[in-house]
């Protein structure tokens, strides 16, 4: 099955939008950006054996490859619009590509993202996606925008994806709810949009809360103090892992793709209101303070640190 | 050398532009598209062992990874602006990445392209680049824009890159001029821009003239008739390869990244004038006619076909 058939197969299934002047099938796509907004661009690649186990279902790989990219747009408060897909495959397998597109296009459809181009090449399984969105000038949730005194918030629950990976690694039967968090992460697009103009700094939790909030602190020239007991945990995580391992997964586990963001205390009610309006739970977990680094305190007010270093991706 | 050091290393060397509001180092880049223009987006991936021999110099890989993408913008008559880079590396080798950036950023600098984001991952060597540019509405050189009676033109010379690959494959010492065409293709950005509003259809010659012009014919619902003796050949190619192998390399060899374009006969002088103004040779090679497919005729007016099927990339 040569490259051109593959591209036709993708083109036939890809939806379009009215701002796509020319989509898949030429040397490049022609797109009409809206006036008065900034273009927001992110790229992320997933490699077999590094970012997902080799036996992952093609539909899950397709979903996740787009999800991790949309999560970057969410973390900028951007509205998604277009994406390109670069797919390296050991061999052109129709069933594999159809399954992959099932997952990829299901998520694209949820967010009205048009697949406008890309390429297919022969090589070890690797999926590289570039996403494009828009945000109003001055409203993006930049990493360098946290200020001393800001509250630190996180969406959803933490540690679920890392817990599923831990179960998979140990050979234990994996909990379905946890596994879904690992295989089908949900980018927090609606929350990101709702936080535009309300929150200050933002990042998505891909490498683990401590690592990712650490990026925000470094970029903002500040520190963060977190309350360990405030970190949100799903019921599935609480059933499957006892403290202290649960705490470690929540603080240092990656791949959750929740949003961690900061906002001044005087907009606390606004944060809760806009999050409720889009149906995404958010939890206060700490505060931005002077200094550097991220410090976590337990219920006794003692410094706490996860038993080992930051989260490592699968592989 | 962890991912974050690699990204810092890239960020320190990447140039910026005034329309980059936020570049490398956040979840996504924030960019200011110009008013009144279309955004032009292309993605191409190069895999080791598929698109280049494993022993290719890192600087050549860097150059070529950006060049093949810029060539797609040239084929749309677009002005390049920004790019993202997704780099999969078996291990994070400082010297390798520095060499890679030497080539990548040298070409980026020539065209004022800002590297605004991307990611680095562990995996088999693979380079995926997405480029962004602008074009005035209605002026892009689309594949579907060829019309019956158009002249067919090509820039530069054909077959040089394939000739170098042929020499490399056969173990012969490779001609330097030919090898440079394979390792350091020159995207025809200035010519593409000059042809906006003058030429009709356009494509870059990456898979071979017959295959690529075939895409134009299919998209435009037309055929092309080419004059074999008109296909331009470099002196290096003429010295190294005798007819008929030379003809086969010119007609079916890929990786030249010249522009093949069509234009109505009444702008023949305009084509020659704008090409001369940017210093890029262009050659008339045939005509768009009714029907389908690409037919080549030799000096005796006989149908000619290359001895074997279309060009296959290295590997």
Nearest residue in B to A39, CA atom: B31
Work out how many CB contacts closer than 8 A connect A with B: 190
B114 touches chain A (CB under 8 A): no
* Alpha-carbon distances of B160 from A62, B42, B153, B185, B249, rounded to whole Å: 38, 24, 17, 10, 8
CA of A112 to nearest chain B CA: how many angstroms apart?
A: 18
Q: How confident is the model at residue B315 (pLDDT cuts 50, 70, 90)?
A: very low
B25: left (phi over 0), alpha (psi -120 to 50) or beta: left
Whether A28 sits inside 8 A of B42 (CB atoms) is: yes
The Cα A191–Cα B262 span in angstroms is 48
- Say yes or no: A75 contacts chain B, CB-CB below 8 A: yes
pLDDT at A114 over 50: yes
> Residue B118, annotated ligand binder?
yes
* Neighbouring C-beta atoms of residue B82, cutoff 10 Å: 27
Considering only CB atoms, A27 lies closest to which of B26, B35, B72, namely B72
Cβ <8 Å between A43 and B117: yes
Give B77 to chain A, closest Cα distance, Å. Answer: 10
pLDDT at B2: 59
The mean pLDDT value of chain A amounts to: 94
Give the β-pairing of B282-289 and B151-155: antiparallel
B76, A30: Cβ pair inside 8 Å? yes
Average pLDDT over residues B62-70: 98
ipTM score above 0.90: yes
Task: Note the pTM of the prediction, 2 decimals.
Answer: 0.95
User: What per-residue confidence (pLDDT) applies to B182?
Assistant: 94
CA distance A151 to chain B (A): 20
Looking at A289-293, B63-67, B116-120, B286-290, which range is the least confident one?
A: B116-120
Indicate the burial class of A215 (C-beta count within 10 angstroms; 0-12, 13-18, 19 or more). Answer: buried
Q: Specify whether the CB–CB gap between B80 and B166 falls below 8 A.
A: no
Asked if pLDDT for residue B312 goes beyond 50, the answer is no
Kindly report the nearest CA distance between residue B301 and chain A, in angstroms: 32
Q: Which of B28, B130, B204 is facing A40, going by the closest CB pair? A: B28
Q: Is A90 on the interface with B (CB under 8 A)?
A: no
Interface test with A, best of B25, B27, B193 (most A CBs within 10 A): B27
Question: Which of B28, B23, B31, B119 is closest to A77 using CA atoms?
Answer: B28
Does A78 touch chain B if contact means CB atoms closer than 8 Å? yes
Residue A29 with chain B: CB contacts under 8 Å: 40-42
**Could you report the per-residue pLDDT of B174-207, keeping only the tens digit for each?**
899 999 999 999 999 999 999 999 999 999 999 9
| Per-residue pLDDT at B314 | 44
Q: Is the pLDDT of residue B168 over 60?
A: yes
Q: Which residues of A are less than 8 Å from B21 in CB distance?
A: 38, 137
Mean pLDDT over residues A197-208, rounded?
97
Using a CB–CB cutoff of 8 Å, tell me whether A116 touches chain B.
Answer: yes
pLDDT at B173 (0 to 100): 84
Residue A301 C-alpha, separation from nearest chain B C-alpha, in angstroms: 32
Touching check for A47 and chain B: CB below 8 Å? yes
**Contact across the interface for A118 and B43, Cβ inside 8 Å:** yes
Rounded Cα–Cα distance for residues A6 and A13 (Å): 11
Q: Is B44 annotated as a binding residue?
A: yes
Q: Could you tell me if B83 lies within 8 Å of chain A, comparing CB atoms?
A: no
Q: Does the pLDDT value for residue A314 go beyond 80? A: no
Q: Mean of the pLDDT values across residues A216-232?
A: 98
Q: Span A168-195, mean pLDDT?
A: 94
Choose from A54, A87, A128 for mutation: most chain B CBs within 10 A: A128
CA-nearest residue of chain A to B145? A26
Is B119 marked within a binding site? Answer: yes
Q: Per the CB < 8 Å rule, is B143 touching A78?
A: no
List the one residue out of A263, A212, A239 whose CA is nearest residue A77: A263
CA distance A227 to A302: 10
Q: Does A73 touch chain B (CB under 8 A)?
A: yes
Q: Is B73 on the interface with A (CB under 8 A)?
A: yes
State how far residue B302 is from chain A, nearest Cα, in angstroms: 30
B175 touches chain A (CB under 8 A): no
pLDDT bracket for residue B4 (50, 70, 90): low
In DSSP notation, chain A reads --HHHHHHHHHHH----TTEEE-TTSSSEEE-PPTT-EEEEEEEEEEBTTTB-TT--HHHHHHHHHHHHHHHHHTTTPEEEEEEEEEEESS--HHHHHHHHHHHHHHHHHTT-EEEEEEEEESSSEEEEEEEEEE-TT-S--GGG--TT-EEEEES-SSHHHHHHHHHHHTPPPPHHHHHHHHS----HHHHHHHTTT---EEE-SS-HHHHHHHHHHHHT-EEEEEGGGS---HHHHHH--TTHHHHHHHH------EEEEE-GGGHHHHHHHHHHTT--EEEEEEEESSSEEEEE-TTS-EE--SSSS-----
* pLDDT one-digit tens code per residue, B229-252: 999 999 999 999 999 999 999 999
Residue range A22-71, pLDDT digits in tens? 999 999 999 999 999 999 999 999 998 888 888 889 999 999 999 999 99
pLDDT above 70 coverage of chain A, percent? 96
Q: What is the pLDDT of residue B308?
A: 64
Q: What part of B 209-238 touches A (C-beta under 8 Å)?
A: 219
Judge whether A255 is annotated as a binding position. Answer: yes
Rounded to the nearest integer, the mean pLDDT of chain B is: 94
């Amino acid at each position: 099955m040569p490259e051109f058939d593959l591209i036709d197969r993708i083109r036939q299934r890809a939806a379009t939008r009215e701002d796509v002047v020319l989509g898949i099938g030429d040397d490049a796509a022609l797109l009409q950006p809206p006036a008065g907004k900034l273009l927001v661009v992110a790229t992320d690649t997933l490699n077999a054996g590094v970012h997902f186990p080799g036996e992952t279902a093609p539909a899950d790989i397709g979903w996740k490859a787009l999800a991790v990219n949309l999560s970057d747009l969410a973390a900028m408060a951007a509205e998604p619009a277009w994406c390109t897909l670069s797919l390296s495959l050991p061999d052109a397998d129709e069933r594999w590509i159809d399954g992959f597109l099932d997952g990829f296009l299901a998520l694209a459809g949820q967010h009205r993202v048009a697949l406008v181009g890309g390429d297919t090449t022969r090589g070890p399984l690797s999926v590289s996606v570039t996403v494009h969105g828009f945000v109003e000038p001055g409203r993006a949730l930049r990493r360098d925008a946290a200020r001393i005194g800001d509250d630190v918030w996180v969406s959803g629950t933490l540690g679920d994806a890392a817990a599923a990976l831990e179960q998979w690694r140990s050979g234990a039967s994996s909990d379905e709810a946890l596994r879904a968090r690992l295989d089908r992460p949900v980018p927090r697009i609606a929350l990101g949009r709702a936080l535009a103009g309300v929150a200050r700094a933002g990042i998505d939790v891909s490498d683990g809360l401590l690592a990712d909030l650490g990026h925000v602190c470094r970029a903002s020239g500040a520190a963060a103090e977190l309350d360990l007991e405030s970190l949100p945990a799903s019921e599935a995580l609480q059933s499957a892992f006892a403290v202290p391992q649960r705490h470690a997964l929540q603080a240092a586990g990656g791949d959750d793709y929740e949003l961690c963001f900061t906002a001044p205390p005087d907009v606390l009610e606004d944060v809760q209101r806009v999050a409720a309006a889009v149906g995404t739970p958010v939890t206060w977990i700490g505060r931005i303070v002077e200094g550097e680094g991220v410090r976590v305190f337990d219920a006794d007010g003692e410094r706490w640190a996860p038993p080992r270093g930051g989260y490592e991706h699968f592989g």
